[in-house]
């Protein structure tokens, strides 16, 4: 079956530290997205990145589709970065998206 795996499952950082979150997928993808779920449950779009590299402020993401992984970089972390980060992908076979199990990030002051 289709697999999307994220690592690490949990991460605790000191404020100001950098981190890398990883998303592996089992097949070629048409669409790869990263989301941040805030403490109120809202899923916030971070990146739409089926391939290549994008940056938005302290966050950046890279997807290497041929090697079936994507990375999310968080630099100079802040307490407001805390929450769960999800990647999601869809394939050529349909319109449905498949989510990874998430990385729970806690940034402590």
Partner 1 sequence: SQTIHQWPATLVQPVGSPLSLECTVEGTSNPNLYWYRQAAGRGLQLLFYSVGIGQISSEVPQNLSASRPQDRQFILSSKKLLLSDSGFYLCAWSQQGSLGEQYFGPGTRLTVT
Interface stretch with partner 1, choices 11-19, 62-70, 71-79, 80-88 (CB under 8 A): 80-88
- Vertex 78 angle, CA 40 and 56, to 5°: 85
Task: Enumerate residues 25-54 that contact partner 1 by CB under 8 A.
Answer: 30-31, 33, 35, 41-43, 45, 48, 50
Task: Enumerate residues 82-101 that contact partner 1 by CB under 8 A.
Answer: 84, 86, 88, 90-92, 94-99, 101
Decide: is 19 part of the binding site for partner 1 (CB under 8 A). no
Nearer to partner 1, 31 or 78 (CB): 31
In 15-102, which ranges are E strands? 19-25, 31-37, 43-48, 52-56, 59-64, 69-74, 83-90, 98-99
* # of chain residues touching partner 1 (CB under 8 A): 25
- Vertex 69 angle, CA 64 and 73, to 5°: 85
Q: Which residues fall within 8 angstroms of residue 37, CB to CB, at 6 or more apart?
A: 43, 44, 83, 84, 85, 86, 102
Interacting residues with partner 1 (CB under 8 A):
30-31, 33, 35, 41-43, 45, 48, 50, 84, 86, 88, 90-92, 94-99, 101-102, 104
């Amino acid at each position: 079956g289709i697999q999307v795996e994220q690592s690490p499952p949990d991460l605790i950082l000191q404020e100001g530290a950098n981190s890398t979150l990883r998303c592996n997928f089992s097949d070629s993808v048409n669409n790869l997205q990263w989301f941040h779920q805030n403490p109120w449950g809202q899923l916030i779009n971070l990146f739409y990145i089926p391939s290549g590299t994008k940056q938005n402020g302290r966050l950046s993401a890279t997807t290497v589709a041929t090697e079936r992984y994507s990375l999310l970089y968080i630099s100079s972390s802040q307490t407001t970065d805390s929450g769960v980060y999800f990647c999601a992908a869809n394939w050529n076979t349909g319109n449905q998206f498949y989510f990874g199990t998430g990385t729970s990030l806690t940034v402590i002051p």
